[in-house]
Amino acid sequence: MDYGKELMQHLTEAKQAIEKAGDNKSLQKVKNDYISKNGIISKYMRKMRDVPKDEKKLLGKAVNDAREAFMKAYSKKQEALRKEEIERKLSEEAVDVTLPGKKLDTGHVHVLNQIIDELTELFIGLGYTVEEGPEIETDEYNFEMLNLPKTHPARDMQDTFYITEETLLRTHTSPVQIRTLLKNTMKKPIKIICPGKVYRRDDDDQTHSHQFTQIEGLVVDEKTSLSDLKGTLLLMARKMFGEERQIRLRPSYFPFTEPSVEVDVSCYKCGGKGCSMCKHTGWIEVLGAGMVNNAVLEAAGYDPENYQGFAFGVGIERIAILRYGIDDIRSFFTNDLRFNRQFR
């Protein structure tokens, strides 16, 4: 038997099988078929006992050479398959840097908060600090300490959501005046603003909402006058509606201020000549204000002989409605993105 010839024949077949293998799995199978313990080539080692002594060495060498040649072809193929796989992955996972990017839809500050931010910036520049208070408030801070005892008829001015007899959803940001005055145990001068949500049992319509936003302002100092209030409000009106605006104060009534005023700003649409925006008066009402009532100062431990103060409260929705010509206050709260995005 010419085992050498047979081995060469098997090796040729093995190499063909290696070449044909399309992936690692079939390559492994070829390896298994030919050079595992019982593989076609390995089995020739067992034929050693059949060959004459002087040929044993030759057979051993022939088997080893065949295995070596097999492994060489096998490794070459394995490397080729590995490269193919890498190429495939690279082309599959390739990133086309010329494709247009995905647009991230980023949010933006809500128009009401934009106005709050603008006013906050103005007042911080004037040396004010920003205070906050709870939306669930006590009757005492929301009304009583603001000179509105339980039976006071002016309570009807603000229809209230009561939670219990003594707690309620605050109807205005004015209770933060009380909280700030009480907190200030050294009774030093105070200059604060307080933006926040407030709630009233008003029927929702185009100009009224059961929830809206106010900014409160409070200054208490040793020499504070109505002209300080007027100067401050003029600055605020010009920041909101333009540098040419004028303001006028009309007598009004709030139990927590004395005197109290309603503040109008000259119409920014017609410049004061009269138009549909200002109902042909030339003026638009924007906020309530006044000198802090002595009763409030006293209740909070301030001596009205030494201290005076002024306060104001402005509806943020009202400013936005006037500034942007918005026809329905409910638009601020229904979160229609088409509305919100106009103020990007």
CB of 294 to ligand FA5, least distance (A): 14
Segment near ligand FA5 (CB under 6 A); pick from 147-155, 187-195, 275-283, 305-313: 305-313
Nearer to ligand FA5, 39 or 209 (CB): 209
Q: Whole-angstrom Cα distance, residue 244 to residue 227?
A: 19
Residues binding ligand FA5: what is the number (CB under 6 A)? Answer: 24
In the chain, which ranges are E strands? 129-130, 136-138, 167-169, 190-199, 211-221, 247-254, 257-266, 283-292, 308-315
Q: Whole-angstrom Cα distance, residue 214 to residue 4?
A: 102
CB of 297 to ligand FA5, least distance (A): 13
The correct pick among 142, 147, 174, 224 for binding ligand FA5 (CB under 6 A) is 174
Which of the residues 270 through 299 are near ligand FA5 (CB under 6 A)?
287-290
Smallest Cα–Cα separation from 269: which of 329, 328, 322? 322
CA distances (Å), origin 73, targets 20, 30, 78, 276: 12, 11, 9, 94
Distance of CA 162 to the CA centre of its chain: 32
The correct pick among 317, 322, 326, 332 for binding ligand FA5 (CB under 6 A) is 317
**C-beta neighbour count of 208 within 10 angstroms:** 13
CB of 252 to ligand FA5, least distance (A): 8
Token representation of residue 242: 């333009």
Nearer to ligand FA5, 141 or 312 (CB): 312
Site string for ligand FA5, 56-95 (x = CB under 6 A): ----------------------------------------
Output phi, psi for 198, to 5 deg. Answer: -135, 165
Token representation of residue 240: 């909101």
Q: What is the pairing mode between strands 129-130 and 190-199?
A: parallel
CB of 315 to ligand FA5, least distance (A): 2
Site string for ligand FA5, 194-223 (x = CB under 6 A): ------x-x-----xx--x-x-x-------
Q: Whole-angstrom Cα distance, residue 144 to residue 296?
A: 9
CB of 111 to ligand FA5, least distance (A): 15
* Residue of this chain nearest to ligand FA5 (CB atom): 315
Nearer to ligand FA5, 115 or 289 (CB): 289
CB of 212 to ligand FA5, least distance (A): 4
Residue 168 near ligand FA5 by CB under 6 A: no
CA distances (Å), origin 189, targets 29, 124, 133, 295, 326: 91, 16, 19, 17, 39
List interacting residues with ligand FA5 (CB under 6 A).
157-158, 172, 174, 200, 202, 208-209, 212, 214, 216, 254, 257, 287-290, 311-313, 315, 317-318, 329
